[in-house]
Amino acid sequence: MSADDYLLNTYARYPVEFVYGRGAYLYDAEGQDYLDFLSGIAVCNFGHQHPFITERTAAQLHRLWHTSNLFLSGGQAVLAKQLCERAGCAFAFFSNSGTEANEAAIKLARKWGAGRYHIITAEGGFHGRSMGSLSATAQPKFWKGFFPMLEGFSSVPFGDTDAAENAIRLETVAIMIEPIQGESGIRFPPEDYLRSLRTICDRHDLLLIMDEVQTGMGRTGKYFAHQWSSIQPDIITLAKGIANGLPLGATLCSHKVGAVIQPSDHGSTFGGNPVAVAAAVAVQELLTEEILDENSMNGKRIQDGLSELSIPGIQEIRGSGLMIGVELEPGISAKAVARKLLADHVVVGTSGESVLRLLPPFVITEKEIDRFLDSIYLTLCEQERVPA
Ligand SMILES: Cc1ncc(COP(=O)(O)O)c(C=O)c1O
């Protein structure tokens, strides 16, 4: 039997199956190790089988799995406090994924808007695959085959504050963006972009919704990437790294937004599951200022290493902390390079045709960085170019 016989054809999978993980390494059935520079796409931030997270999660696994959200169970209240304090928010709602965290954000904005419903998004953004989050995802390639999209979204170029302000109409309630666009190639906006959006939102009484699903949880060297711009969003969405690999999403909001929500306005059977929450509380305890500084330092080491080696085929390197995009020169396929790196037992991601996406776990050391640099150097030296 091949996996493709029964699994829906939603992913172009690599021809490797991992059976075990420890720290920054994954292992196949033959026990061969692979250096993980992807972390399950910014999920297993503290590496695989982190002893503290595993111990806390296993303890909850042996205590209680699920009670429904009709009862308070596990550490939901503790986690809500930890996240809200770090994010400057008042309330947290827990779900199971990034797309659900964004669905909740859209519903919160509409309820707060009391009739206003229109949300301005950024071209190239990615917010998830459910119909609301997909409608907010201004990338028509993801819409193909699934029309009609949900009403009430319009997009403007990422980084263009004038376009965002010009798109405001009577029904507009919010601007929703990622602080750094992850899925479309680790794309950074101009430096004062988030601050300008905050000003626009205040001027027009709009909510600023920050999708930190990929950028949050310390990845960029701050708890949340928008904190580099010293602004306070009204709603923040989280998932991916929040529970180091167990499914959990969170939507954080300010007091004025949360105050409009009543029982039965929103909900989730599994959201805030006690086992996932136990992992997330452990992650919060590990996520110290020292770790954030180390992420910044290791990110710089990787970027400096890539630049100093003068590796052929690299057009641009951009990043913040351990979220790094390597833009390849035209004619070099990022997927082909990722496959060659995998053959050399190094796991990386890609974005679009030309960007290698590096999202290593926070537990990497100089040894792992050196192994990665050696591998990418040799791989790109040998990589064929397709003439443009
Ligand atoms: C910024 C952002 N938002 C939302 C999502 C959707 O998250 P999920 O796949 O957990 O639904 C992703 C996933 O890549 C993302 O990068």
Contact 120, 176 (CB under 8 A): yes
Peptide bond into 148 cis (omega under 30): yes
Where does ligand 1 bind, in terms of residues with CB under 6 Å?
97-99, 102, 126-128, 178, 182-183, 211, 213-214, 239
Q: Report which ligand 1 atom has the smallest distance to the Cα of 100.
A: 11
What is the average pLDDT value for the chain, to the nearest integer?
97
Q: Of the residues 178, 186, 219, 240, which should be mutated to test ligand 1's pocket, given the most ligand atoms within 8 Å of the CB? A: 240
Kindly report the number of other CB atoms within 10 A of residue 91's CB atom: 16
Closest ligand 1 atom, residue 41 Cα: 14
Whole-number Å distance between alpha carbons of 179 and 165: 17
pLDDT score for 202 = 98
First to last CA, the chain: 40
What pLDDT score does 386 carry? 65
Collect all residues with Cβ–Cβ distance below 8 Å to 111 and sequence separation of at least 6.
260, 261, 265
* Res 168 pLDDT > 80: yes
| Ligand 1 atom at minimal distance to the Cα of residue 99 | 11
Substitution candidate for ligand 1 out of 10, 99, 215 with most atoms within 8 A of CB:
99
Q: Kindly report, residue by residue over 56-101, the tens digit of the pLDDT.
A: 999 999 999 999 999 998 899 999 999 999 999 999 999 999 999 9
Closest ligand 1 atom, residue 133 Cα: 4
pLDDT reading at 388 higher than 90:
no
Q: What is the CA radius of gyration of the chain?
A: 21
Model's pTM, two decimal places? 0.98
132: pLDDT strictly greater than 60 = yes
Give yes or no for a contact between 320 and 340, defined as CB atoms under 8 angstroms apart: no
CA atoms within 13 A on the CB side of 165: 14
- Joined tokens for residue 378: 């040799």
pLDDT above 90 covers what percent of the chain?
96
Look at residue 387 and tell me whether its pLDDT is greater than 70: no
Report which of 24, 9, 18, 13 is spatially closest to residue 302, judged by C-alpha positions. 24
The protein residue with its alpha carbon nearest to ligand 1, atom 8, reads: 98
Confidence of residue 383 (pLDDT cuts 50, 70, 90): confident
Instruction: Please determine, for residue 385, whether its predicted confidence score (pLDDT) is greater than 90.
Output: no
pLDDT at 352 > cutoff 90 = no
Closest CA to 267 of 95, 92, 123, 145: 95
Q: How far is the CA of 185 from the centre of ligand 1 (A)?
A: 14
